[in-house]
Amino acid sequence: MNESFTWKGFKLETPAKYRIRIEGHVDENLGQRLGDISITNAFKKDGQPVAVLVGYLPDQASLSGVLNALYDLHLTLLSVENLDEKIGRK
């Protein structure tokens, strides 16, 4: 059985807007170092600090670079969302 399947969704080279949530508050200047990503410091419902990073990345290699930079800073990753994917779904 040899079926042909064509993936029509996101690919490694697909640009997208991402939202990354990390534990704690971070300096908002970090966003410029990560590729012009906006950073908002907020609090979760339980009062714990959380930083929300939102930005457009040209591909998943860039996303990987941002995630590696956060890891190198010893920041705890809470979530990563592809916002373009959510917009495209119904």
| 61 backbone dihedrals φ, ψ, rounded to 5° | -65, -40
Helix, strand or coil for residue 29? coil
Domain count along the chain: 1
23 located within any domain = yes
How far apart, in whole angstroms, are the C-alpha atoms of residue 84 and residue 89? 9
> CATH no. for residue 36?
3.30.70
Tell me how many helices (H) and strands (E) the chain has: 3, 4
Low-confidence residues in the chain, pLDDT < 50: 5, 7, 88-90
The pLDDT value given to residue 56: 94
- The conformation of residue 40, written as its DSSP 8-state character, comes to E
Which residue range is the domain that position 32 belongs to? Answer: 16-88
Residue 55 contacts residue 36 (beta carbons within 8 Å) = yes
Which pLDDT belongs to residue 89?
43
3 belongs to a structural domain: no
Entry field: residues in the chain:
90
Contact 51, 40 (CB under 8 A): yes
pLDDT of residue 32: 87
